[in-house]
Amino acid sequence: MNCTACTRPLDHAAQLCAPCVRGLDVRLTELPGQYLLLVDHLRPGAARGDGPVALVREAPLPVREDVLTMRAEGGIVAVLESWRSAMQDARGWGQPARSGSMERRVLAAARGLLINLDWVAAEFEAAGDLAREIRTLAAQVNALLDPAPPALSVGDCAADLGDDICGAPLRVPAGTTDVRCRRCGTEYPPHMWMTLATGAWATPEGAAA
């Protein structure tokens, strides 16, 4: 039996593997907040840190269609509500109410899926499609929120390769906290970044920390 989202082999009967469940959990948890954040990105340049004050003073800029579409009836809310609806259908439940503001509907649909995540992961036959579609949606939303994310530099890899220190530059890819050396594969959790950035790894005390 394999995960229906990523095809990884499963050691017990289920629809999704643990990493795919975790990813779905995180994305469903984050999407309502990201929906709210998108309002700040409706105008080009608004995300560049000009702030609201600069926006009022300048002539109105055109609205970004891609952001508008994502926040409109056929966007995030449609994906979440149709999956919640399909899930309730598969469980033999009635259809969920779709009422209130768009914000409330996004939140209600995401929560409705989240509280049924265990069942989805174990039993929902469309779980693989659900997980993949939510992953695509979250990637699109993230791209709108952060169109050109700069990778953050945290210093050089301090891994001891036997006769040498690796020394390859390390970057935090935008939107993650995963720092992995591209040269030697050593991983650095966030609590080590400051040590790396200050170069303290070069000293024996630093290396031992």
Interface positions with Zn ion (CB under 5 A): 3, 5-6, 8, 17, 20, 157, 159, 166, 168, 181, 183-184, 186
Nearer to Zn ion, 89 or 178 (CB): 178
Nearer to Zn ion, 92 or 162 (CB): 162
CB of residue 95 to Zn ion, shortest distance in Å = 28
* Rounded CA separation 69/38 (Å): 11
* Rounded CA separation 106/28 (Å): 10
CB of residue 90 to Zn ion, shortest distance in Å = 19
Nearer to Zn ion, 149 or 169 (CB): 169
- Is there a contact between 16 and 24 (Cβ–Cβ < 8 Å)? yes
- Is there a contact between 200 and 154 (Cβ–Cβ < 8 Å)? no
* Rounded CA separation 75/68 (Å): 9
CB of residue 59 to Zn ion, shortest distance in Å = 49
Nearer to Zn ion, 40 or 133 (CB): 133
Q: Which long-range contacts (CB under 8 A, 24 or more apart) does 183-186 make?
A: 183/157, 184/157, 184/159, 186/157, 186/159
Single-letter residue type at 96: P
CB of residue 18 to Zn ion, shortest distance in Å = 8
